[in-house]
């Protein structure tokens, strides 16, 4: 006699429900916009990233101009 196999689905993760998502969103520790002295805020960190990015963008543009100039001097560039 053949045994019956039951099709049991794995337990549903409670996080994948609307109530689970709301519960998880409340647990998130959102960063502060401004610093309070003990830790950096988003505004300061964003400023640092933008300054760093602008500095390296300028650096690479100047390197490109320098290489282009040097290639023109030795007769390779147009």
**pLDDT exceeds 70 at position 62:** yes
The residue whose two tokens read 């007769």 is 75
Choose between 7 and 52: higher pLDDT.
52
Mean pLDDT of the chain: 83
Q: What percent of the chain has pLDDT over 90?
A: 35
5-27 CB burial, b ≥16 within 10 A, e <16: eeeeeeeeeeeeeeeeeeeeeee
Neighbours of 33 (CB within 10 A): 10
pTM over 0.85: no
The Cα-based distances of 15 to 12, 23, 26, 28 in angstroms read 9, 8, 13, 14
């Amino acid at each position: 006699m053949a045994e019956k196999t039951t099709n049991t689905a794995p337990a549903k993760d409670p996080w994948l429900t609307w109530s689970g998502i709301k519960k998880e969103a409340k647990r998130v520790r959102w960063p502060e916009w401004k610093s309070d002295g003990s830790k950096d805020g988003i505004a300061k960190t964003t400023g640092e990233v933008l300054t760093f990015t602008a500095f390296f963008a300028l650096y690479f543009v100047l390197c490109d101009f320098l290489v282009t100039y040097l290639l023109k001097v030795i007769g390779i560039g147009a």
